[in-house]
Each structure stands twice: as structure tokens, then as C-alpha cells.
Amino acid sequence: MQKAIIGKKLGMTQIFDDKGNAVPVTVIEAGPCNVVMKKTEENDGYEAVQLGFGDIKVQRVTKPLAGHFKKADTAPKKTLKEFRLDDISALNPGDTIKADIFAAGEKVDVTGTSKGKGTAGSIKRWGFARLKESHGTGPVARHAGSLGACSDPSRVYKGKKLAGHLGCERVTIQNLDVIKVDAENNLLAVKGAVPGPKGGIVLIRDSVKKA
């Protein structure tokens, strides 16, 4: 049965295993999450559950969202994410999911938003090659080169690889080991680094890529 939960990245540290080796881990506050909505094949054309994470004041949500949470008999949540799982028969609106759905030794996929790195040129952002730096090239060795648009269409085509903002992209790291589960405090220690800054929201589900 597939499992999923919403979490918040708390930071990185290290844990020593039974042999005394230091294992770098990312600590994630995984849940508790409430099932806010359940979608079925009959009503919606596919099966999925919508999970909510992080309490928020009632006055900070819109009336439609307040009704949405009231229907599920849950407190308003700051983050809502939908997960398509192979079997949702055991999940119903109002149920609570905690970090203990995972166990040490399992493999998980973690999805988050990469940390923004500011404005970057075409070489750093897209891996473009440099121009020659001799025989009249001039001070443009790291430029993108000619775009070839001229007067028609008098614009840059959408999707053209140019200088711009680097980072802030959705990234999934697959097949990470769960090193430790603290069920009492809803904490997961996952081996290695996961995408996103400290305090960023991450989505955790059991790995589809088995080792």
C-alpha cells in the first residue's frame, strides 16, 4: 500500500549508526496531517486524497475554504496537497496521518522547491559554452550569442534559454533511506539532503524506484 505525508524541512544534522559511522541526515517534521478530501473513481474519475498540514487561524481562510474544512470536520490547514495512491479505501475525511506510517529502513521520495539562487547568465543557468576569447570576439565570451529574431517576429520566443532567475524549481529526490522515525514528535530523519530551504514544505511518499 502506498503512503504519503506532508512535512516541513527543519535542517540537517548527523546520526551515528551501530558501527559508529556518521550518517548525514535531513530532519523533517512529517505531519500530523488530516485527510481533508477523498476523491473516488465514481465521482471524480480517479482516486486521490487531499491532505492538510499546519494549523492556521479560522479568520485567515476564505469562506469557501472554511466550508471545505468544516465538511471534513478538520481545523483549517495552511498547506493542502493531493496525492494519488493505489489504495485509499482505509482513508476517510477527518483521519489523521502521522510520521509513524514510515519505518526506519524504508525508501522514500521527497519533493520540494529548490532554493532560489538569484539571477544567472546563460552559461551557469543552461550550461552554454563560452565563446572564443581571441581574434575580435570582444568582451562577450559569456554572452548567449545572437538570438536571430531581427524584425520578425520582433520578440523572443517563449521558452528560449536566456539569462534569468535560477532555482525555485520543483525537484524530487528519489530512493532516500529513512534512518530514524521519532513517532512522538512526528520527525523523520532521511539520509542525505532534500530540496528546499530550512522551513520549506516537502512532500514525502514511499519510493516508486525500489533499490
193 and 110 in one domain?
yes
Mean pLDDT, to the nearest integer, of 93-122? 89
- Give tens-digit pLDDT for 87-101: 888 888 888 889 889
Q: How confident is the model at residue 8 (pLDDT cuts 50, 70, 90)?
A: very high
pLDDT at residue 210, rounded to an integer: 53
The total number of structural domains in the chain stands at 2
Domain CATH for 40: 2.40.30.10
pLDDT at residue 119, rounded to an integer: 92
Residue 211 included in any domain: no
pLDDT at residue 59, rounded to an integer: 86
Mean pLDDT, to the nearest integer, of 130-141? 79
Residues of the chain with pLDDT > 70, as a percent, come to 97
What are the DSSP E strand ranges found in the chain? 4-16, 22-30, 33-39, 48-55, 77-83, 96-97, 107-113, 119-120, 164-165, 170-182, 187-191, 201-206
In the chain, the N- to C-terminal Cα span, in Å, equals 17
Residue predicted with more confidence, 194 or 146: 194
**Is the predicted pLDDT of residue 211 greater than 70, yes or no?**
no
157 and 75 in one domain?
no
Mean pLDDT, to the nearest integer, of 40-48? 87
pTM, 2 dp:
0.76
Question: What are the CA-CA distances from residue 149 to residues 123, 138, 142, 154, 167 (Å)?
Answer: 21, 22, 20, 6, 27
- Give tens-digit pLDDT for 64-86: 988 888 888 888 999 999 998 88
181 and 86 in one domain?
yes
pLDDT at residue 147, rounded to an integer: 73
145 and 113 in one domain?
no
Q: How confident is the model at residue 169 (pLDDT cuts 50, 70, 90)?
A: confident
Residue 30 included in any domain: yes
Mean pLDDT, to the nearest integer, of 184-192? 91
